[in-house]
Each structure stands twice: as C-alpha cells, then as structure tokens.
Structure 1
Amino acid sequence: MLCQGRRQRFRFIRRYRQEFPVSIMCNVLNVSRSGYYAWQSRKPSKRSNENNRLLKEINKVYCSNRKVYGSPRVHAVLKNQGYQCGVNRVAKLMRENDIQAQQHRRIKRKAAYKSTSKVANLLDRQFTVSKPNKVWAADITCIWTGLGWLNLAIVMDLYSRRIVGWSMQSRMTEDMTIGALDMALLNRRPGNSLMHHSDQGSQYQSQALQEKLKRCKIVPSMSRKGECYDNAVVESFFKTLKSELGVGQRRFNTREEAKAMIFEYIEVFYNKQRIHSTLGYLSPHEYEAKNINGSGVY
C-alpha cells in the first residue's frame, strides 16, 4: 500500500484532495470519509505543534546555508543552537516537506596510467592531518562562462580543509599555481616541514613552481597519473563548489561575474560558514579557532 499508517493516509488525502476526489482516495486507501474529516478538524497535538516549530527552524537553517545542507548538517546546526531533537526526526520532517540538499553528480573513475613524474606520491592518500601547515593539497578546475573558460587553482590545508590560497585566470598557466601558492604562503607563514601535494599537471611539474617549492623548503608530492583519488579531498571540494554554485544548471555571463561568485563562496561561505562532517560539523574557521593557539594561522 502506498501509505502504511492511518495518519499517513490522511496526510496523503489532504495533500492531493485538490487533484482527486476525497471519496475515491478514501476507498483506495481503506479509510472512512468520516474518519478523515474528523482527523482534519481535530486540534493539532502537542507533538504536531512542536514539529511545526521545529520545521520553521529547519527552514531557517536550510535557507541561510544556500539550501545545500542535508539532514545531518541541519541537525548539527540545530544541536549547536541548543535544540533537543534527533537526526531521524529532522530527516523525517525534511522528507515530508520536500526539503533536500542539491545532489552531486558522480565522477567516473578514470583508468590508471603509467606515471611519468619524477616526484613521488608521498601523501599516499593519508588525508587526515594532525597539524596545520603540514600538508597542503592543490589542483586546478575549469568553469565555463559566456566569454570562455575561467580556470581556478586552489591550495587547501588538509588539517582544516580550509582554502588558504587561490588564483583565477582565463589561461591555464604555471602563473596560476604560483599565484595560489604565494597567497597561501602569505596567509599562513608555514614552517619548514610542509608538504605540497598535487596531480601531475604540467603547471605543477613546471620548473618555476618546483624551484619555488625548493626555495621555500616545501617538500613536493604528486598523485599517480590518472588516479584522481590520490587527491580526493580537493576533487571533492571542486565537486561541492560547482554543485552549490549551480554550475551546470546555469552559466555565468562573464568571467568577472564568475570570479565574484567564486570569491564570495570560498571566503565567505566555505571557509567561514559551511560545516564539514570530517571536522565534527564545524566550519574550517571554527575548527581552527577551537583547536589552534598561536600556530601562525589566522
């Protein structure tokens, strides 16, 4: 049967009573018309009133976070705000009211190729890092606009998943990777035990970038060729950014429009507001503020 419980059947009838006759739906769902009308005229229960109040708070959290949070993140925010409710209750209310996070497209895994890089994969998928400025992960992605491609290079501190450096240009050159690294160095001022992990793109294998890493006493590490999972955290960030900015459903008119939206997403939403399950449902900024004292990070 479409609806299992008696109340669920009544809710179903109330939801679709404008589209189908009540008498027909009552017959199909095996409930009486008098029972339905008695339920409809009954005063809301204490539980129902509590659910209505909770639903309003769920909507506030959902809308204030760009409508990208699912029930686990919504529940985590409500819990931090002092609301006593279970994650299953939040999930049920969101499901019944068609509140859901944007879905991400799955990325097909590419076949592995023989490596041509002389730089070893020192990170070896060890994405959990105990200290800030110990491992930075970098990569480049492309976003289509009405005036052509916009390329985004980022540097992420794996400790807190914070984007510590980024650069955007119309052409995919080594200057992008160096620019993102320069911003990260300026923002974080790391020590001498830092690893820089990337893929084997020509921008990262360039002599200029490798010499800069050497001068700054940063140890290079590179993914195996064709193994996107060797840099999975950054790949996940790019997937999240494109999904939550609506890339694919919309097109930026100009590169400047895309730059402004990406800047606001990284600096205002992702780094300071968006909570991460990996970080105990804290934002990168909150996680660092909670766990770091006098370590040279801002």
Structure 2
Amino acid sequence: MKEHQDSLNIKKACKILNVSRAGYYKFLNHKQSKRDIENQVLSEEIKRIFEEHKGRYGSLRIAKVLTQKGLNVNRKRISRLMRLMGLCPKGSRYRYKKYNQANTPEHPNLLNQVFKSNTKNQIWVGDITYVPTKKRTLYLAVFIDVFSRKVVGWAMDTKMKGQLVINAFNQAYGKEQPKPGLIVHTDQGTQYTSGNFQSLLKARKSIHSESRKGNPYDNALMESFYRTIIMTTSENWWFVLSL
C-alpha cells in the first residue's frame, strides 16, 4: 500500500484489509525507536549464529553465545525474534504445537501498558528469566508490586516448570497478605496458564491479567527489572531481589 498509495483508494484498501486509516497513516509516519533498531541489529546477529551452527541452536544456546560475546539478552526476546524470522531449530517441536483453545480460557489485558496503582498490593506483575552461571543455567521467577516497585516474591530452580511461579507467588502472598481482588499480570506462558496456577489464583481470590502474544511492552516493568538483573554482576544480583 505504501508503494502504491498514489494509485490506490486508501479508504477502500484499508476496509478490505480490516485496518483503520488512522493506523495506516500512523504507520507511514512511524520512526524507528531505539528498541526497533536494537531488534533489527540483534535479529541479524541471531540469524548469523543460527546459520553458523546449521540450524541446530535454539534460543537458549544462542543466548549463551551472545552472553559470551558480552551481549546479555533475555531468552524470551531471542525466541520472539526467531519466530518473527521463521527460524525453527532442528529437532524442535514448536512448529507442531497445537493449543486447545476451547480448554484454555483467555484473560484480558487489564493493565494495557499502564503500570500505575493507588496503593500497594493492588497489582503485581510477574515473569520468568534465566540466570547463566558457570555450572548451569538457573531460572528465576519474580513478582513485583506496581505501586512500590518492590520485589514481593521470587523463586529459583534449575527447571522452568509451573511449580517455579507457584513458589514465587506463595512467597509473595505469605509476606504481603494482599486483600481479595489483587490483579496478577503475566505473559501467556504455560507456567501461568496452567491449571495449578489458575487454581491458586482463584483460591487466593486474585484476578489474572495477561499480556498480548509477542508484545513485551505489555509487561515492560518486568522487562526493565530483568535488564537490571542481567547488568548486575553474579556476586550481587541477589541483593537486587532483596531491595
């Protein structure tokens, strides 16, 4: 449309493609953000590493290669960029995954990128990242209070399973004792959409809010926090969690 806008009926084209004209003109005037430029450079490096290792490296192994080069990048971000480029490592079952939408209830994005609260323990945001060590990779689950920006609960394990986020939430709930109606915002990872975690939230009278698929800005507060963790040396990263 952009290349042929002089010869097209923009109103009719937008209607056919089911996009708003305001959105289309906003796209025309869009300037690349710092994040967009970073993703573009990072995507090229990811593709180079992927091809160098003949398509055998997934997001975790690529993240380790980048870390060795001094580039600390969240594995989820690498995975998202790989999906956008259509890079699927050999032996991966990702392309064959099918989700039973009928049995997986959808939860609305209650925050809509507005990370504000009137008091503590009204809204918590949570996410998982990995912490590379000399011996092995550890997985870290954290919940942060939106009002105070305080880490209310966290858990670490060698496996990224549902129990990891349950342990982190139980720690937070035990310390803070929030009132019913607490909003817990996370991404759509299986650890958070699992029946066990959903049952836990229901038992605690908490409300689940979910980011949209492939949109890191919907949980930007957690992304910013994990960037701080990654930039912190291995000797004192735990201190950040205790602040």
TM-score when normalising by structure 1: 0.47
Unpaired runs of at least 5, structure 2: 1-70, 85-98
Q: CA deviation at 1:105?
A: 7.2
Structure 1 stretches of at least 4 aligned residues deviating more than 2 Å after TM superposition: 104-113, 260-265
The equivalences for 1:45-64 within 5 A come to none
CA gap of 1:243–1:223, structure 2 versus 1, over 3 A, is same
Q: Secondary structure at the match of 1:151?
A: strand
Work out which of the residue numbers 146, 151, 165 in structure 1 matches 2:153: 165
Q: What's the offset of the Cα at 1:123?
A: 1.3
- Aligned sequence identity (%): 33
Rounded to whole Å, the distance in 2 between the matches of 1:155 and 1:162 is 9
Cα distance, 1:203 vs structure 2: 0.5
1:133–1:235 distance in 2 versus 1, CA, 3 Å: same
**Which string of whole-angstrom CA distances, capped at 9 and with x for unpartnered residues, describes residues 121-142 of structure 1?**
1111110111111000000001
The letter of the residue matching 1:131 is T
Equivalent runs, 1:63-102 vs 2, <5 Å: none
Q: Which residue of 2 is the match for residue 82 of structure 1?
A: none
Residue 164 of structure 2 aligns with which residue? 176
Aligned to 1:243: 231
Across the two proteins, how many residue pairs are aligned to each other?
A: 152
CA distance in 2 between partners of 1:153 and 1:198 (Å): 11
Query: Per-residue deviation at 1:265?
Result: 2.9
Match of 1:54 in 2: none
Higher RCO (C-alpha 8 Å, min separation 6): 1
CA distance in 2, matches of 1:106, 1:185: 30
1:188 aligns with 2:163: no
Larger Rg: 1
Distance verdict in 2 for CA 1:105–1:151, change over 3 Å: closer
CA distance in 2, matches of 1:191, 1:181: 14
- Please tell me the residue identity of whatever aligns with 2:226: F
What is residue 237 of structure 2 aligned with on the other side?
Answer: 262
Q: CA RMSD in A?
A: 2.7
Matched residue SS, 1:146: coil
SS in 1 for 2:106: coil
Which blocks of at least 5 consecutive residues in structure 1 are unaligned?
1-103, 246-257, 272-298
> Which of these residues, 206, 215, 218, is aligned with residue 218 of structure 1?
206
TM-superposed CA distance for 1:145, in Å, is 1.4
What is the 5 A alignment of 1:1-298? 118-245=106-233, 261-267=236-242, 271=243
Deviation at 1:261, TM superposition (A): 3.9
Question: 8 Å contact 2:188–2:213 — kept in the other structure?
Answer: yes
Report the secondary structure of 1:208's partner residue.
Answer: helix
Query: What letter matches 1:203 in structure 2?
Result: Q
